[in-house]
Amino acid sequence: MTSISSTMEDYLEAMYRLELERGTVRVKDIAALLHVKMPSVTSALQTLQQDDFIDYEKYKAIRFTTKGRGIARDVYVRHQALREFLADILQLDSKTAEDEACQMEHAVSGETLKRLLMLIDFIKRCPRGGDDWLEHLKGRWEGEPCADDCAACIKALDIPQHSPFAPVTDDAELITLNQLEPGQSGIIARLGGSGAVRRRIMDMGITAGSELEVERLAPLGDPMEFKIRGYHLSLRRQEAANIYVRLS
């Protein structure tokens, strides 16, 4: 794994976010996003250029090298997963979740990230989890133990048919993500694919039950850019064809 400081990771992540949201990366935008002065950004960019993470030329848009883009994307995904875990599972307020995800993202390994994403997916999809379970968990943070009988709850378990965690029984209602047009939105029903393709999709935080909206297509129609859980992501059409959604 390439050695890089947490500060440089923050710069790469900021640049990745700007590229997803605006298509181009400029010094003034990095400064505004990270709340630092432009000379500090210039100095950081020179360091990243020397280490072959970016192609940087004064007064021109900044571009990632292959190595730099890989690291930037990894940091971005770690941040997304940690923020979701802190906000949705531990139920911290959005600012705290955002601030602490920024601090934690530099110390999380790839294996820990993979398991964290699987845990989030498991809690939200398992019939013993879901929104009701998370609501009961919220009481624990506030010092209010659950008064329900756990054994009785499990015995009486019933998954509402409208729930995103319910089994998909009619594939005729589903279409693949690559068929959606800009402005259309849907709820992810299930993931297809296998091996590296499926793992990449899950690593990006794309899980069943999540709502997404297609924002735009690249000039040649590939990749697709969409918004999910407040984040902007992009996928190749070939990858998007492995994601089944129900139009919302």
Q: What is the pTM of this model?
A: 0.56
User: pLDDT band for position 169 (50/70/90)?
Assistant: very low
Q: What is the DSSP letter of 142?
A: T
User: pLDDT band for position 125 (50/70/90)?
Assistant: low
Fold of 171-247: SH3 type barrels. (2.30.30)
Distance CA(81)–CA(200), nearest Å, equals: 13
CATH number of this structure's domain 6-90+95-104? 1.10.10.10
Distance CA(116)–CA(109), nearest Å, equals: 10
What are the boundaries of each domain within the chain? 6-90+95-104, 171-247
Q: Collect all residues with Cβ–Cβ distance below 8 Å to 188 and sequence separation of at least 6.
A: 206, 207, 208, 209, 210, 211, 212, 243, 244, 245
The kind and range of the H/E element at 175 are: strand 175-176
Instruction: Supply φ then ψ for residue 152, to 5 degrees.
Output: -65, -40
User: pLDDT band for position 234 (50/70/90)?
Assistant: confident
pLDDT tens, 135-165? 767 666 666 666 666 666 655 555 444 344 4
Confidence (pLDDT) at 208:
73
pLDDT tens, 189-229? 877 766 666 667 776 767 777 788 888 887 777 788 888 87
Q: Collect all residues with Cβ–Cβ distance below 8 Å to 66 and sequence separation of at least 6.
A: none
